[in-house]
């Protein structure tokens, strides 16, 4: 299959591209869609055989449910069996934006979407292009991140083409993603509500409307007998080919540790701005200032992709503080490292 890259650089192209994306989705095809977090691999959520294609294209385990993407809070009433006031409050405050809400499902989407769970994950992405596609499709779009399972998520159309080219009908090019890490997931089907995945909306923002518990999968690897509430959180993720290690500590001691490791010529380092000169390594990528978690989030997957090469066996990443959006950056780096952390 030849994957069409649908450009939206001019108004005329944008109109043609949106129309083409809608046409392909209506025909049961897969289309890469832009969002403010990462690119999604979209299918008509009400078309079971289209949704099945997502799992094949990504190599995604069938027990890992998908988020449905909708145009606004009213969709909660369409697809969720119960909508508590807090869910509506959060949707009205943060949508469109990087927040996914899990609630009991009405059971009116194909079971391929929810992987047989009795809950459903709903989100309204902050991308005018994608919102227009969903509105014109007249159905939600089911979409996981548009990467091959296990690899870093995609934050540019070119990354989607690299992972999915030849396997899907088209990619709608909405430019680079502003947030850079996947949405925050809050499970409101339990009491107290649980943070299943950190993202662009922070725990502090969510706690302004009530209590919130952190699911252990947010900060550690679960044991073989533990079942995470977000099935996707049990898989190793976001990883380049080399072995990733998260290095916790100050810059000078991190550099001392990393520079003492063997094979600097096969080593890459992800560090904060201004630290480049400290490291002896084949590749050094700066991912933002030490306290600038938004910049780190925006760049982290790009950085992991850029060190994903045959020439790199070891990747060391400096560990941000788990504050605010920094929690999401630590979580993604931690998962890429399979939670291998050294304290220096
Ligand atoms: O920002 C995002 O959320 C991106 C963009 C494309 O919207 N999507 C995304 O999807 O990250 P994905 O499939 O890569 O991650 C979705 C996560 C998985 O860990 C999955 O297990 C979890 O959400 N999930 C989906 N439905 C769920 C449910 N009903 N209950 C608990 N977790 C759920
Ligand atoms: Mg994903």
pLDDT range class, residue 228, cuts 50, 70, 90: confident
pLDDT on residue 229: 83
Separation of CA 145 and ligand 2 centre (Å): 4
Nearest to 153 by CA among 240, 317, 269, 39: 39
Mean pLDDT of the chain: 96
Is 340 within 8 Å of 242 (Cβ atoms)?
no
pLDDT on residue 224: 76
pLDDT range class, residue 282, cuts 50, 70, 90: very high
CA 66 to chain centre: 12
Ligand nearest to the CA of 123: 1
Task: Report whether residue 185 contacts ligand 1, using a CB cutoff of 6 Å.
Answer: yes
Determine the Cα–Cα distance for residues 203 and 293; give it in Å rounded to an integer: 14
Nearest-atom index, ligand 1, CA of 183: 1
Residue ranges, comma separated, of all CATH 3.40.50.11030 domains in the chain are: 243-343
pLDDT on residue 29: 98
Task: Report whether residue 322 contacts ligand 1, using a CB cutoff of 6 Å.
Answer: no
What integer is the mean pLDDT of 215-244?
Answer: 81
pLDDT range class, residue 120, cuts 50, 70, 90: very high
Separation of CA 177 and ligand 2 centre (Å): 15
pLDDT one-digit tens code per residue, 25-36: 999 999 999 999
Task: Report whether residue 150 contacts ligand 1, using a CB cutoff of 6 Å.
Answer: no
Task: Report whether residue 125 contacts ligand 1, using a CB cutoff of 6 Å.
Answer: yes
Is 71 within 8 Å of 135 (Cβ atoms)?
yes
Q: Please tell me whether the peptide bond between 192 and the residue prior to it is cis, using omega within 30 degrees of 0.
A: yes
Its CATH class, for the domain covering 4-218, is alpha beta
Separation of CA 99 and ligand 1 centre (Å): 11
Tell me which of 82-96, 204-218, 228-242 is least confident. Answer: 228-242
Ligand nearest to the CA of 100: 1
More confident residue, 218 or 228: 218
For a mutational test of ligand 1's pocket, the pick from 182, 325, 328, i.e. the residue with the most ligand atoms closer than 8 A to its C-beta, is 182
- CATH code of domain 243-343: 3.40.50.11030
Evaluated on CA atoms 122, 125, 130, 131, the torsion sign reads positive
Provide the percentage of residues in the chain whose pLDDT is more than 90: 90
Burial class (CB in 10 A: 0-12, 13-18, 19+), 118: exposed
Task: Report whether residue 102 contacts ligand 1, using a CB cutoff of 6 Å.
Answer: yes
The phi and psi torsions of 51 (rounded to 5 degrees) equal: -65, -40
Nearest-atom index, ligand 1, CA of 39: 6
Task: Report whether residue 145 contacts ligand 1, using a CB cutoff of 6 Å.
Answer: yes
Separation of CA 225 and ligand 2 centre (Å): 22
pLDDT on residue 119: 98
SS (H, E, C) the chain: CCCEEECCCCHHHHHHHHHHHHHHHHCCCCEEECCCCCCEEEEECCCHHHHHHHHHHHCCCCCCCCEEECCCCHHHHHHECCCCHHHHHHHHHHCCCCEEEEEEECCCCCHHHHCCCCEEEEECCCCHHHHHHHHHHCCCEECCECCCCCCCCCCCHHHHHHHHCCCCCEEECCCCCCCCCCCEEEECCCCCCEEEECCCCCHHHHHCCCCCEECHHHCCCCCCCCCCCCHHHHCCCCCCCCEEEEEECCHHHHHHHHHCCCCHHHEEEEECCCCHHHCCCCEEEECCCCCCHHHHHHHHHHHHHHCCCCCCCEEEEECCCCCCCHHHHHHHHHHHCCCCEEEC
Task: Report whether residue 148 contacts ligand 1, using a CB cutoff of 6 Å.
Answer: no
What integer is the mean pLDDT of 46-69?
Answer: 96
Burial code of 125-160, b = ≥16 C-beta within 10 A, e = fewer? Answer: bbbebbbbbbeebebbbbbbbbbebebbbbbbbebb
pLDDT one-digit tens code per residue, 135-162: 999 999 999 999 999 899 999 999 999 9
Nearest-atom index, ligand 1, CA of 120: 29
Separation of CA 143 and ligand 2 centre (Å): 9
Is 152 within 8 Å of 146 (Cβ atoms)?
no
Determine the Cα–Cα distance for residues 338 and 242; give it in Å rounded to an integer: 12
Place of tokens 């046409």: 23
Q: Is pLDDT above 90 for 106? A: yes
Nearest-atom index, ligand 1, CA of 66: 25
Residue ranges, comma separated, of all CATH 3.90.870.10 domains in the chain are: 4-218
Nearest-atom index, ligand 1, CA of 98: 1
- What does the block give as tokens for 172? 């709608």
pLDDT on residue 235: 67
Protein residues placing their CB within 5 Å of the ion ligand 2: 145
Ligand nearest to the CA of 233: 1
């Amino acid at each position: 299959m030849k994957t069409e890259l649908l450009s939206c650089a001019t108004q005329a192209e944008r109109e043609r591209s949106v129309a083409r994306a809608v046409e392909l989705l209506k025909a049961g095809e897969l289309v890469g869609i832009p969002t403010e977090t990462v690119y999604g691999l979209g299918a008509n959520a009400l078309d079971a055989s289209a949704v099945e294609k997502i799992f094949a294209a990504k190599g995604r385990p069938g027990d890992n449910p998908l988020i449905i993407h909708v145009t606004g809070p009213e969709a909660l009433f369409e697809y969720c069996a119960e909508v508590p006031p807090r869910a509506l409050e959060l949707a009205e405050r943060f949508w469109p934006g990087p927040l996914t809400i899990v609630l009991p499902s009405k059971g009116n989407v194909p079971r391929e979407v929810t992987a047989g769970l009795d809950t459903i994950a709903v989100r309204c992405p902050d991308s005018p292009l994608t919102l227009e596609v969903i509105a014109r499709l007249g159905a939600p779009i089911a979409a996981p991140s548009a990467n091959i399972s296990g690899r870093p998520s995609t934050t540019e159309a070119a990354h989607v083409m690299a992972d999915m080219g030849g396997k899907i009908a088209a990619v709608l090019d909405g430019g680079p993603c502003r947030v850079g890490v996947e949405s925050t997931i809050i499970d409101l089907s339990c009491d107290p509500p649980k943070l299943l995945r950190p993202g662009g909306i922070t725990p502090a923002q969510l706690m302004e409307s009530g209590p919130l518990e952190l699911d252990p999968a947010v900060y550690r690897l679960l044991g073989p007998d533990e079942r995470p509430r977000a099935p996707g959180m049990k898989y190793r993720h976001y990883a380049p080919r080399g072995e990733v290690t998260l290095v916790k500590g100050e810059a000078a001691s991190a550099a001392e540790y990393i520079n003492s490791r063997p094979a600097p010529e096969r080593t890459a380092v992800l560090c904060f701005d201004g630290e480049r000169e400290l490291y002896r390594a084949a590749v050094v990528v700066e991912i933002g200032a030490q306290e600038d978690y938004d910049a780190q989030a925006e760049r982290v997957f790009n950085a992991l992709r850029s060190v994903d090469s045959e020439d790199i066996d070891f990747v060391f990443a400096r560990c941000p503080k788990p504050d605010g959006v920094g929690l999401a950056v630590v979580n993604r780096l931690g998962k890429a490292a399979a939670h291998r952390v050294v304290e220096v």
